Chain A
Amino acid sequence: MPDPIVVLIEDEPQIRRFLRATLTGQGYRLFEAATGADGLVEVGSRQPDVIIIDLGLPDMDGVDVIRRLREWTAVPIIVLSARGQERDKVTALDAGADDYVSKPFGASELVARIRVALRHAAGASHEADEAAFKVGELQVDRLRRHVSLGGTEVRLTPTEYKLLTTLIRHAGKVVTHQQLLREVWGPAHTDQAHYVRIYMAHLRHKLEAEPARPRYLLTEPGVGYRLAAD
């Protein structure tokens, strides 16, 4: 497999410099754009495997760039955004972004996100959903609908199971409340965000050793949930 191509749309030269060092060092081929317009051109011409975009661009709103991109490409998009802007993150995710990293972030955090994104993109294209999922002590066999924790079977209700498998489909990626509601309860229930929270609490009590300090079912306050991938 050739080196994955990353297009970075970011107006801050310092951040571009640091990411250039990090990503090329990790074996990625990086193409940079300082504006949204340049970014769209760059994505069109480079056919990247991952797009990294900053929401605060000088010429256009980052969310608009994401919408424009999603009109014709399904390439994973990772958003760079500051903490305290949870609403913007949700908007970007709803517009089609796959994940986000809060500024300031460490190199390892970003690289992990890129890896998850690449894995999902690869999975969606050729490999069908892997039937077996494993993280830490948690094992889920989706063919047999079997959930176990450290070898002991855990009994889940149908909704809990559906919620868990939805999270597994997006493992390692953030999933918004809306997304979970839509995929688990159906489009009619998207204004009942507390359903998700209650069932997440149930799942944690069944799957986590310390529900108040979860290892697998992580919360992203104001945005949604993330199932730990490794």
Chain B
Amino acid sequence: MSGERPDPDTLLARAKEEEARKTRGRLKLFFGAAAGVGKTYAMLEAAGELKADGVDVVVGFVETHGRAETEALLGGLEILPPRLVPYRGTTLKEFDLDAALARRPTVILVDELAHSNAEGSRHAKRWQDVLELVGAGIDVYTTINVQHLESLNDLVAKITGVVVRETVPDSVLERADEIELVDLPPDDLIERLQEGKVYVPEQAREAMKNFFRKGNLIALRELALRRTAERVDAQMQAYMRDHAIAKTWPVAERILVCVSPSPQASQLVRAGRRLATRLGAQWIVAYVETPAAAKLPQADRDRVVQTLRLAEQLGAETVTLSGTTMSEELLAYARARNVSRIVIGKPARSFWKRMLLGSIVDALVRGSGEIDIHVVSGEKEADAPKPAMRPASRTAWRAYAEALVVVALCTGIAWLMFPHFGLSNLIMVYLLGVVAVAARSGRGPTAFASLLSVATFDFFFVPPFFSFAVSDTQYLVTFAVMLVVALVISSLTVRIRAQADLARDRERRTAALYAMSHELASTREVDDLLAIAIQHIVDVFPAEVAVLLPDGTGRLTPRTVPAAALHTDAAEQAVAEWVYSHRELAGLGTSTLPGAAALYVPLIGSRGAAGVLGVKPSEPHVFDSPEQLHLLETFANQTALAIERATLADEAQASQVRMETERLRNSLLSSVSHDLRTPLATITGAATTMLESGSRLDQRTQKELLESVRDEAERLNRLVQNLLEMTRLESGAIELRRDWHPLEEVIGAALGRLAKSLGSRRVTVSIPPDLPLVKIDDVLIEQVFVNLLDNAVKYTPPDSAIRIIVTATDQSVTAEVADHGPGLPKGQEARVFEKFFRATPDGRGGAGLGLAICRGVVLAHGGRIWAHNLPEGGVAFLFTLPLTDAAPASVPADA
């Protein structure tokens, strides 16, 4: 492969980004080393120039800190009124995001990117507001100081001794389209401070003593310059990449940062981030969950969660691994992911502990092979958190009691064996007991059982009997070995069990996911899909769940299952709408609209957001763990894809139906126009002949002409009748008026109506004398007989016989109309009931509707209709009518 061309995937990604940039607003950062360097001033100056050029500029929020020069620049600009938020007795001024979105200027100025919004705002941080503005297509000018950058946060703290709490993810800086470094040499800045141009004098003195020491300012300035330079460098690289200049592009590096529950883990993450940025590498932050970790106190677990979150904010991929040995697990994962460097913290174990138990670093270095290991120091080396003792619960007491019973049992057995076996065999009995306890309970009860075993063994079986005294010192070795063996076994058993628990947990989640996707795959209806998805989500995360899907008007409407229905009021609905339109997580436990009662996850399919999943867990912190959140998102993705699949299937089906309808309409038009025109042509022809030359024609011809007019008019009438009937049947406009009728009467009416066309034909009717009344719509069933008989008349020779046979069972009545004609073409016995189907293409038949109408009527009655050729020639049409309803009230006896 040639290394000279840019990687197509990279190019594609860049093209997509370029595309997104076109609809997105531009983000311009005024970047400075410290407060007072003149960022706001520079920003306002730039805004003034834009305004002079006629650009629609609005000041969204600017903090002047009472600086006169700055305030002077504000003069000519439109200023958006701040949102007033009452807070602990005072009123805070906040940037009004909604007003800004409504005003929609071309460029908006929003100062202090790192600001934390007051409680109750849509977003926790101002940078989120800014991103939303940019997303809405508005250009944003904003300011930020270097100490607020997330990845430099700890460095700044080291340099200045001041921990800055308000931070902005580096990704925001990277998304900026333009960064303008506002630089001021430290001496000038100090001068400005002294002149009171930055803070009011008392504040300024305080600030100069702490943060604004010259040394700090130099260091911060260097940081800011370096950060800007790095960005310029990145731009340079991007340029080179675009133009395929790079001849030797570095092999993509991948860094794995291993974190522990220690408070220093966040520093480790930041260090990893810096390394990754410098190397232009992808980076992964991993936490290994060992059985011991399951026992960690809640505070430590929370810290792990926070660390992983921080890592995600800084742009890392995070993963939680589980295994017994941390180093093995890490190396296996690193190999699987092609990691080139592993970053790990300096071991916290003291020297002798390390000698005794080994250290992870040692193990990693030993097993790393080609992977580089970076060992990064923490600032204050705190002891690694110790597993907290679990409070002895009732179940724990029971375990101890069980241990006691087991040891007592062993003692009993040993007592029975004592006269016949040696002491070493008795020890085996006790060991067996200890293993049994270990298999059932935790470390504590097992240790207890071990000690108790040693004690009872000594008491009962080691001379002198019934005393803890030991006559022979060599028994001490026996005790020691027995104790150690018992403890090792118990520790191994416990560890295996914990491992199994973890595996089971994972297995359960995977199984749940699999089960859901499996079930979803076999479902077509959206409502069923949602019910299945919700059910599976609730199975894994006990919660109230709703899936909100857009209705016809685009408004989200919730779908729930009754057992775990999440009720969404107007406020919750608004959160869901936000998630739907922004395709981002929001609500409970996130930094966007955290006041919501539930967490809302967008259902993103390949064609955009399909809806929103709302989850209100019964245990509020369950989604603080990134892994749980990922699992939920996986569920959401599965659901989204399934919904999309269902809608696509629906659409495909709808278009299929449309095509079919179109085809039918065309065939109807061609068929009907032909069938209408033929009789009309005859009528018109005959009538005009009569009008123009009637007197010259002999009487016979005149009569013939008039008869053809009458016959064609009748044919036309039948056709129109059939068309109307068919339309009414298909539109569902037909309402059955069922009553109890003797079939004989209906058949009689049909034969009466066709008397003329039947002529002298022999028609035999066979009806069992005890045939019950049938609940039918007599008009429609008469029409069925008329159509079937008419068919027989049309397609058979004029003198051939027709027979009607009615038979009955307990469940149904079957009527058969059979003729002695040529029969149906082979294989078309079923097709004859289709609309516009004609067995013969000549003009003898009607529009091919008669049998379709028969089928419609019979189906509406809950019956069945079919046709088959008779062995002796001819065709039989049969239909059934169910006899389901109870017979009518009996007729009063005849007096």
- B773 in the interface, Cβ–Cβ < 8 Å? yes
Whether A222 and B744, one on each chain, are in contact in the complex, defined by CB atoms closer than 8 angstroms, is no
Of A106, A194, A210, the most chain B CB neighbours within 10 A belong to A194
Given contacts A159-B895, A197-B745, A221-B746, contact A212 B778 (CB under 8 A): no
Whether B895 and A158, one on each chain, are in contact in the complex, defined by CB atoms closer than 8 angstroms, is yes
- B713 in the interface, Cβ–Cβ < 8 Å? yes
Q: How far is the CB of A24 from chain B (nearest CB, A)?
A: 19
Pick from B515-523, B605-613, B733-741, B826-834 the stretch touching chain A: B733-741
Whether A197 and B740, one on each chain, are in contact in the complex, defined by CB atoms closer than 8 angstroms, is yes
- B717 in the interface, Cβ–Cβ < 8 Å? yes
Measured as residues with beta carbon below 8 angstroms from the partner, the interface class of chain B is 20 to 34
Pick from B88-96, B203-211, B420-428, B886-894 the stretch touching chain A: B886-894
Given contacts A193-B739, A198-B773, A213-B748, contact A158 B713 (CB under 8 A): no
Which B residues are CB-close (under 8 A) to A199?
A: 891
Interface string of A36-78 (1 = CB under 8 A from B): 0000000000000000000000000000000000000000000
Given contacts A158-B894, A194-B773, A197-B773, contact A211 B744 (CB under 8 A): yes
- B747 in the interface, Cβ–Cβ < 8 Å? yes
- A138 in the interface, Cβ–Cβ < 8 Å? no
Residues of chain A from 173 to 209 with CB closer than 8 A to chain B in the complex: 185, 192-195, 197-201, 204
- A219 in the interface, Cβ–Cβ < 8 Å? yes
Interface string of A83-106 (1 = CB under 8 A from B): 110110000000000000000101
- A27 in the interface, Cβ–Cβ < 8 Å? no
Given contacts A194-B740, A210-B765, contact A218 B752 (CB under 8 A): yes
Whether A212 and B747, one on each chain, are in contact in the complex, defined by CB atoms closer than 8 angstroms, is yes
Interface string of B711-752 (1 = CB under 8 A from A): 001100100010011000000000001011110111111011
Whether B894 and A84, one on each chain, are in contact in the complex, defined by CB atoms closer than 8 angstroms, is no
Which B residues are CB-close (under 8 A) to A211?
A: 744, 748
- B484 in the interface, Cβ–Cβ < 8 Å? no
- A157 in the interface, Cβ–Cβ < 8 Å? yes
Whether B765 and A192, one on each chain, are in contact in the complex, defined by CB atoms closer than 8 angstroms, is no
Whether B744 and A212, one on each chain, are in contact in the complex, defined by CB atoms closer than 8 angstroms, is yes
Whether A220 and B745, one on each chain, are in contact in the complex, defined by CB atoms closer than 8 angstroms, is no
- A214 in the interface, Cβ–Cβ < 8 Å? yes
Given contacts A212-B747, A213-B748, contact A201 B742 (CB under 8 A): yes
Whether B894 and A212, one on each chain, are in contact in the complex, defined by CB atoms closer than 8 angstroms, is no
Q: How far is the CB of A222 from chain B (nearest CB, A)?
A: 4
- B154 in the interface, Cβ–Cβ < 8 Å? no
Interface string of B822-858 (1 = CB under 8 A from A): 0000000000000000000000000000000000000
Given contacts A194-B888, A195-B891, A222-B737, contact A212 B749 (CB under 8 A): no
Which A residues are CB-close (under 8 A) to B804?
A: 212
Which A residues are CB-close (under 8 A) to B779?
A: 84, 86, 221-222
- B42 in the interface, Cβ–Cβ < 8 Å? no
Complex: A113 Cα to B692 Cα, angstroms: 34
Q: How far is the CB of B95 from chain A (nearest CB, A)?
A: 70
- B763 in the interface, Cβ–Cβ < 8 Å? yes
Whether A157 and B724, one on each chain, are in contact in the complex, defined by CB atoms closer than 8 angstroms, is no
Whether A104 and B713, one on each chain, are in contact in the complex, defined by CB atoms closer than 8 angstroms, is yes
Which A residues are CB-close (under 8 A) to B717?
A: 104
Complex: A195 Cα to B725 Cα, angstroms: 30
Of B714, B721, B742, B889, the most chain A CB neighbours within 10 A belong to B742
Smallest CB-CB separation from B779: which chain A residue?
A222
Interface string of B306-322 (1 = CB under 8 A from A): 00000000000000000
Residues of chain B from 676 to 720 with CB closer than 8 A to chain A in the complex: 710, 713-714, 717
Which A residues are CB-close (under 8 A) to B740?
A: 193-194, 197
Complex: A203 Cα to B752 Cα, angstroms: 17
Smallest CB-CB separation from A211: which chain B residue?
B744
- B819 in the interface, Cβ–Cβ < 8 Å? no
- B767 in the interface, Cβ–Cβ < 8 Å? yes
Q: How far is the CB of A200 from chain B (nearest CB, A)?
A: 7
Complex: A123 Cα to B751 Cα, angstroms: 32
Whether A194 and B748, one on each chain, are in contact in the complex, defined by CB atoms closer than 8 angstroms, is no
Complex: A128 Cα to B832 Cα, angstroms: 57
Whether B749 and A198, one on each chain, are in contact in the complex, defined by CB atoms closer than 8 angstroms, is no
- B782 in the interface, Cβ–Cβ < 8 Å? yes
Q: How far is the CB of B416 from chain A (nearest CB, A)?
A: 92
Residue of A84, A86, A204 near B721 (CB, 8 A) is: A84
Whether B747 and A192, one on each chain, are in contact in the complex, defined by CB atoms closer than 8 angstroms, is no
Q: How far is the CB of A145 from chain B (nearest CB, A)?
A: 14
Smallest CB-CB separation from A226: which chain B residue?
B752
Which A residues are CB-close (under 8 A) to B891?
A: 194-195, 198-199
Complex: A193 Cα to B738 Cα, angstroms: 11
Which B residues are CB-close (under 8 A) to A214?
A: 748, 752
Q: How far is the CB of B511 from chain A (nearest CB, A)?
A: 61
Whether B782 and A83, one on each chain, are in contact in the complex, defined by CB atoms closer than 8 angstroms, is no
Which A residues are CB-close (under 8 A) to B889?
A: 192
Which A residues are CB-close (under 8 A) to B721?
A: 83-84
Which B residues are CB-close (under 8 A) to A195?
A: 891-892
Residue of B710, B745, B894 near A219 (CB, 8 A) is: B745
Q: How far is the CB of B740 from chain A (nearest CB, A)?
A: 4
Given contacts A84-B724, A212-B767, A214-B752, contact A221 B778 (CB under 8 A): yes
Whether A84 and B725, one on each chain, are in contact in the complex, defined by CB atoms closer than 8 angstroms, is yes
Complex: A212 Cα to B755 Cα, angstroms: 12
Smallest CB-CB separation from B765: which chain A residue?
A212
Residue of B742, B749, B765 near A220 (CB, 8 A) is: B749
Q: How far is the CB of B550 from chain A (nearest CB, A)?
A: 44
Of B746, B748, B773, the most chain A CB neighbours within 10 A belong to B748
Which B residues are CB-close (under 8 A) to A218?
A: 749, 752
Residue of A106, A185, A197, A222 near B742 (CB, 8 A) is: A197
Smallest CB-CB separation from B786: which chain A residue?
A221
Q: How far is the CB of B207 from chain A (nearest CB, A)?
A: 95
Residues of chain A from 157 to 180 with CB closer than 8 A to chain B in the complex: 157-160
Which A residues are CB-close (under 8 A) to B778?
A: 221-222
Smallest CB-CB separation from B767: which chain A residue?
A212
Complex: A109 Cα to B334 Cα, angstroms: 99
Which A residues are CB-close (under 8 A) to B894?
A: 157-160
Interface string of A215-230 (1 = CB under 8 A from B): 0001111100000000
Whether A219 and B752, one on each chain, are in contact in the complex, defined by CB atoms closer than 8 angstroms, is yes
Which B residues are CB-close (under 8 A) to A221?
A: 746, 749, 778-779, 782
Whether A201 and B745, one on each chain, are in contact in the complex, defined by CB atoms closer than 8 angstroms, is yes
Which B residues are CB-close (under 8 A) to A84?
A: 721, 724-725, 779
Complex: A199 Cα to B763 Cα, angstroms: 25
Smallest CB-CB separation from A202: which chain B residue?
B894
Name A residues whose Cβ lies closer than 8 Å to a Cβ of B.
Answer: 83-84, 86-87, 104, 106, 157-160, 185, 192-195, 197-201, 204, 210-214, 218-222
Q: List 25 A-B contacts (CB under 8 A).
A: A83-B721, A84-B724, A87-B737, A157-B895, A160-B894, A192-B888, A194-B739, A194-B740, A194-B773, A197-B773, A200-B745, A201-B745, A204-B745, A211-B744, A212-B747, A212-B748, A212-B751, A213-B752, A213-B763, A214-B748, A218-B749, A219-B749, A219-B752, A221-B746, A221-B779
